[in-house]
Structure 1
Amino acid sequence: MSFTETTLLSFCSTRTKRMIKSTNWKVPRLYFTITEKYISVHLCHDDWLNALSLMVLYVDQFMENSEVSKLRNSSLELRFMKLGFTRENRIPVEYYGKSYDVIQVLNEFLDDSRHELYKHFIALFPNTPKIQLNTEAGTDLRLVPISKYVRDLKLSGLEADVDYAEEYFSKCKNLQRAVVEPVLKGEVKENSKITSVKRLLCLNTELQTRSLIFKFNGQVATFQNCRCNVNVIIDVLKLWISNEAFQNVERLSMIRMYCSWDNIPWWTEDVVLQAIESSPSDPSKRPDNCGKKYEVVSWIIKPLKCADYRDITRKTDGKRASFHVDASSFRFVVWN
């Protein structure tokens, strides 16, 4: 029996569930995606092609030719299908190289099923080191269960109100890593849960660039699609040098947004060098490369080659950092 079949059988067989728990199967990552219409679950290693992919699809009535089952110790009735479905057209589809196994749940059980299924997987693989949750913006947050084991959250979608995003990330009591995909509407507050997380990735920073960056108090951050001029980069460096901000930062990156209609000038390193006292890299004082990589939910922030970066020193404690600026990116790394 395959890993997928055994996992599916655990929904209706107490013996199978006990067997999985007793054999202590090593699942390094549980990745949940929650929307109003479905939940998808990936049990996988870092190689997503080998993921077990399940979709919990909410339907008004069960589809034909589907197998009836019942979740043990629950009134929740499920039906399984051995075909994958696109979320829009409900036709067979390959996802990450594999079809989804679909679990159908009636809409009338929508509220309870999220908690029941979520708890089932947590109980099945209690030693999973990475339990990650991705929620689509606009999903009723009352339907989003976040267990004490979750450390990584992603908010996906096109746009989201800042208060909604804040409420979502605040549901995680020990949030370590966060990905924000939507453009945020509204003012990011001081001591925001978003900007105080240790590792942060903002995919569509846009006009929130200043607000998000200058309130960031974590260790590692990447801000993509920034709409700002080069003065923001200069201010970041000045604040770090004077130790007025970014005391905890290890890595910080900004990627400029490209818009054919945007009148914001491209970034220029010469402008930064005129405003910031810096020196060429010194191999005797720091490595040529920053070999450390960071994971933020399912995103990887890769190591940096820093031989041509400029060096700066913080006045209060002598800590050394390096930076590089080109027309569309800013990279900053702290060494000691």
Structure 2
Amino acid sequence: MPINLHKLPSLVGEMLVTELEYQEIFLLSMCSRRSKILVKKGNIKVPKLAFRYEERHGYNKFEVEVVTDESRLPVTSWLHVPELASEEVSTVKLGLGYKADTSFHVLCENDGKFLHWTECANEPMAVQKSLQDHVNSMFHNDTNQLILLMKYKGSLPNITDVTEIEIRDDTVDPQFITNVLDMYPDHQRLYVKSEIDGEIPKESPFFQVQNIYVTHPPSRKYSCGPDYFHNFVGRNMRLDQATVTEQDLIQFLHKWISNEAYHNLETMVILVGPQCRINENLIRQTIEFEEYDPNEPEKRPSHFPIDIPFSYNFPLRNQNVVEIKRETDRKRAFVYLTIGCFLLVVHKN
């Protein structure tokens, strides 16, 4: 039996709102001015909001999700179309007092859950800006994530407080990466899941990002070269499908050991592409290191927490992990070497 939330005591209505799914909360806020006020009074806090842009069947699609440690939960999805084909068109009022004619659609999945999307023919940037204001008035969070799954043309989305950026396409131009980073100066994490077509200038803000993850399918045309980590001044970097030589890695280690560079570095993970093989013995011959002594395991931590691109604990009490020290302050780091992987983690204490 349907419940009229407006006939319930205010506190009870607000409590019920917080028990709804995020999609339901958004749709409730669209029903009327009173419903939107009720949702706002619910003071709903979420860990993180993700704003996703992609091209779907030739149309630009804009999605909002709530991101938790375990999952991504849909809030709303909007599709920009040249014109509304449906006869059932309704006018909705978004944030900033913006009104738009829309066509609403619902898909019920086999498990009983539903997904909704809204088609709209209004100017996309105006819709996006007002929709973001509407969402931010309902959900309270500290950080936003921006996901670009298309070659974005024209002005980038006007989203505030973006700390995480993900770019995913077949290829991406270095200048586009620069434009994105300049547009969202609060970035802390950058995920590039594309082939970067061209050399990244040394002065690019790319190398200033504190946490970077670059990956793409195996390709002979583009790959992550040594300039990616030679120019890096951030804290954590992971490169997949990289093309490097032993001399590149030796130079990197010597610069860290001498304290010439990488002063803020915490982790460096390099997975080489199928065309590369790392001669770990050659690298070990050029540096001073201490091997793991299984009779004295307490001399090093058991694990090191790594959180890029996802959180996991890397085991350090391993014969393949050697310890090195920085010459100036004797700071410790641990190096893991195999034929296809190079990993360095800097001990925090």
TM-score over 0.5 (shorter chain) = yes
- Residue in structure 2 matched with residue 269 of structure 1 by the alignment: 280
Cα distance in 1 for partners of 2:113, 2:144 equals: 21
Cα distance in 2 for partners of 1:195, 1:141 equals: 25
How many residues in Structure 1 have an aligned counterpart in Structure 2? 314
Contact (CA 8 Å) 1:207, 1:227: kept in 2 or not?
yes
Q: Choose from 98, 108, 115 the match for 1:100.
A: 115
When normalised by structure 2's length, the TM-score is: 0.82
Taking a change above 3 Å as real, the CA distance of residues 250 and 33 of structure 1, as seen in their structure-2 partners, is: same
Identity %: 23
Contact (CA 8 Å) 2:28, 2:39: kept in 1 or not?
no
Deviations 1:279-308 (A, max 9, x none): 113645431211x242x5xx4142210112
1:38-49 alignment, distance < 5 Å: 38-48=61-71
What SS is found at the alignment partner of 2:120? strand
Cα distance in 2 for partners of 1:328, 1:98 equals: 43
Say whether 1:18 aligns with 2:32: no
Shift of 1:63: 4.4
Shift of 1:22: 1.8
Q: Which runs of 5+ in 1 are unaligned?
A: 85-92
Contact (CA 8 Å) 1:207, 1:228: kept in 2 or not?
no
Q: Which runs of 5+ in 2 are unaligned?
A: 1-16
- Residue in structure 1 matched with residue 81 of structure 2 by the alignment: 59
AA in 2 matched with 1:15:
R
Shift of 1:151: 1.0
Q: Whose Rg is larger? A: 2
Shift of 1:134: 0.6
C-alpha RMSD of matched pairs (Å): 2.5
Shift of 1:5: 2.3
Deviations 1:100-136 (A, max 9, x none): 3101111x422311211122212221x3133101113
When normalised by structure 1's length, the TM-score is: 0.85
1:92-131 alignment, distance < 5 Å: 99-106=114-121, 108-125=122-139, 127-131=140-144
Q: Choose from 216, 232, 245 the match for 1:229.
A: 245
Cα distance in 2 for partners of 1:285, 1:146 equals: 47
Structure number with higher relative contact order (C-alpha < 8 Å, ≥ 6 residues apart): 1
AA in 1 matched with 2:90:
V
Q: Which of 8-17 and 22-31 deviates more?
A: 8-17
1:61-100 alignment, distance < 5 Å: 61-64=83-86, 68-72=90-94, 73-83=97-107, 99-100=114-115
Say whether 1:33 aligns with 2:44: no
- Residue in structure 2 matched with residue 88 of structure 1 by the alignment: none
Taking a change above 3 Å as real, the CA distance of residues 67 and 285 of structure 1, as seen in their structure-2 partners, is: farther
What SS is found at the alignment partner of 1:76? strand
What SS is found at the alignment partner of 1:100? strand
Cα distance in 2 for partners of 1:16, 1:285 equals: 60
Contact (CA 8 Å) 1:12, 1:71: kept in 2 or not?
no
Cα distance in 1 for partners of 2:328, 2:89 equals: 67
